[in-house]
Structure 1
Amino acid sequence: MCRHIAYLGPDEPLGRLLVDPPHGLFRQSWAPRRQRHGTVNADGFGVGWYAEGDPVPGRYRRSGPIWGDLSFADLARVVRSGALLGAVRDATAPGADGEAAAAPFAAGPWLFSHNGAVTGWPRSLAPLAHGLPPDELLSMEARNDSALVWALALNRLRGGDEEAQALADTVLEVAAAAPGSRLNLLLTNGETIAATAWGDTLWYLAEPGRRTVVASEPYDDDPHWRQVPDRTLLAASRTDVLLTPLKDPREAYGPGTPSAPGAPGRPEEPPS
């Protein structure tokens, strides 16, 4: 389910990154090339972007398919940004949350998306939800699995965790509570990108010092796209990409482990 993309680089019209590429997010809404689960991402879409001088991103989200929104076509043509996160949604289960269920979710400087599904939802994550402060549960934007995964990651961010560490620990915690879940998470603060490959595809395109793109799948046939191995944490800026192996918590820490820290990262050599 779902496709998403994050970008850091020179200011570009949103459409140049999301609509114009031959296999961009716009086309991935009905014809993804590498999606393993689901075929059509028409249950909502969204994009969040950063304006110069403002650390809090703006968002545009809708409950319908991206191809049916003429207002988005105009917005994508004229709005420019050097950092964005976009997503198209294939819902795991029916719901009444509308555009509130569409990524990106947001809080403070952060934009977040989840590509995947939590097995046994909602019962499987009830113990983890009980550990969240009541005000954070009550302020969740939607009542789906992605919104709760975001609440778990956001609780760590607000507690002082770095972005990559917050994602790593959230994935391991959720995977321990709901084995078999697909947990490709994507997070940006406008200056860095953190992401996990856990059960679905993740790729990145890096031009050190100029731009970094992290996406569910390549939006064109540029030979410099690199696939992120499954069970991996990615941490990136405009200049560096680091990959960290993530182990299934049952393998690394034994059955029943509620959560576990991520491993230290290793730098990934950018393509020449």
Structure 2
Amino acid sequence: MCRWLAYSGTPVLLEQLIYRPQHSLIDQSLHSRLGVETTNGDGFGVGWYADSETGPSVFRDVGPAWNNRNLRELSRNLRSRMFFAHIRASTGTAVQETNCHPFRHGRWLWMHNGAVVDFHRFRRELVLRIDPSLFNAVEGTTDSEVLFFLALTLGLEEDPPGAVERMVGLVETIGRANGVENPVQMTVATGDGEMLWGFRYSSEHRSRSLFYSTDVDTLRALYPDNPVLAMVSEETRLIVSEPLGDLPGAWNEVPESSYGIVGPGRDELCPFRPQAAPRAA
């Protein structure tokens, strides 16, 4: 499986998110505590938004994150209000740049931890449900990218939670028709540069780990002398596969079958309920 983090809030250097914390994403690439694999070295990627006028940029590589000199150099100088960062442990597809997360389409970024169980058994049926206008934008061979383009097909840009619920409903319907009873295992982050959504769900209701950071006002009350908390706004939030440190009260587990919304003036935690699969055109 994989590890990831998504950040929204006061513009910060990438280095502060993926290198400096006690149990940073770089540390997790070698010493994951909660992942299926301890080591996540099958490529990595970061995505970020430079300003409100342009879409996101991405930097991805097939090597491990822990010794990538370009990532280290970039992280010291790259500042953004929204970051996606992902370290990959392949579930069977090739280690190649087009299979590294995050995936991008227009203003949207997407990254995933988990798997579509026995993806090879019904991959063709899923791919054929991607809207023809989006089909040629699929570059890699992962289940994760197929999930993204199915969500786009089903309305991600207009209704992100509803689109992901419809996407999961579709995958479960097709998977079960092919003899896979519990096909979906996922934690997903997606965003458009303004809002960020994080999802935790699995068909068997035993999802991979996912956490969100406690609100900044509460943390300031708990740790008034912490210099990092003095630098960021009240709306700053992180969603992570596993906590970046052991600070008591700083991290909260996302409940099973839930999704969160993070953005200016909005912070919500809602139940996630897959919707019936739409009929094929």
TM-score, normalised to structure 1's length? 0.85
The answer for the alignment partner of 1:99 in structure 2 is 97
* Displacement after TM superposition at 1:95 (Å): 1.5
The answer for the alignment partner of 2:272 in structure 1 is 246
Counterpart secondary structure, 1:34: coil
Q: Which runs of 5+ in 1 are unaligned?
A: 250-256, 261-272
Q: Does 1:207 align with 2:216?
A: yes
The answer for the alignment partner of 2:200 in structure 1 is 197
Q: Is the 8 A contact 1:61 1:103 kept in 2?
A: yes
Deviations 1:83-127 (A, max 9, x none): 11110000010426x111010000111110011010111223433
Distance 1:177 1:183, change over 3 A: farther
Q: Is the 8 A contact 1:55 1:190 kept in 2?
A: no
Counterpart secondary structure, 1:78: coil
Question: Which deviates more from structure 2 when the two are superposed, residues 200-209 or residues 13-22?
Answer: 200-209
Mapped partners of 1:259, 1:224: distance in 2: 40
The answer for the alignment partner of 1:137 in structure 2 is 135
Q: Is the 8 A contact 1:211 1:238 kept in 2?
A: no
State percent identity of aligned pairs.
29
* Displacement after TM superposition at 1:232 (Å): 1.1
Alignment of 1:88-127 (within 5 A): 88-95=87-94, 98-127=96-125
The answer for the alignment partner of 1:164 in structure 2 is 161
Quick check: which has more Rg, 1 or 2?
2
The answer for the alignment partner of 1:13 in structure 2 is 13
TM-score, normalised to structure 2's length? 0.82
Given candidates 238, 242, 252, the residue that maps to 1:217 is 242
Alignment of 1:6-85 (within 5 A): 6-35=6-35, 37-85=36-84
The answer for the alignment partner of 2:230 in structure 1 is none
- Structure 1's consecutive aligned runs of 4 or more residues displaced over 4 angstroms after TM superposition are none
Mapped partners of 2:131, 2:49: distance in 1: 29
Q: Is the 8 A contact 1:6 1:85 kept in 2?
A: yes
Q: Is the 8 A contact 2:167 2:277 kept in 1?
A: no
| Count of residues paired in the alignment | 250
Given candidates 173, 176, 181, the residue that maps to 1:176 is 173
Distance 1:175 1:55, change over 3 A: farther
Mapped partners of 1:226, 1:259: distance in 2: 34
Which amino acid is 1:219 matched to?
L
Deviations 1:127-170 (A, max 9, x none): 33222233422320201111111111122346x53222222322
Q: Is the 8 A contact 1:167 1:195 kept in 2?
A: no
Mapped partners of 2:163, 2:273: distance in 1: 15
* Displacement after TM superposition at 1:192 (Å): 1.1
Q: Which runs of 5+ in 2 are unaligned?
A: 176-181, 202-206, 218-233
Which amino acid is 1:215 matched to?
V
Q: Is the 8 A contact 2:211 2:242 kept in 1?
A: yes
Mapped partners of 1:24, 1:174: distance in 2: 33
Counterpart secondary structure, 1:166: helix
Deviations 1:169-201 (A, max 9, x none): 222322333324212111011211112112211
Q: Is the 8 A contact 1:21 1:219 kept in 2?
A: yes
Which amino acid is 1:127 matched to?
E
* Displacement after TM superposition at 1:53 (Å): 3.8
Which amino acid is 1:207 matched to?
V
Question: Which deviates more from structure 2 when the two are superposed, residues 130-139 or residues 54-63?
Answer: 130-139
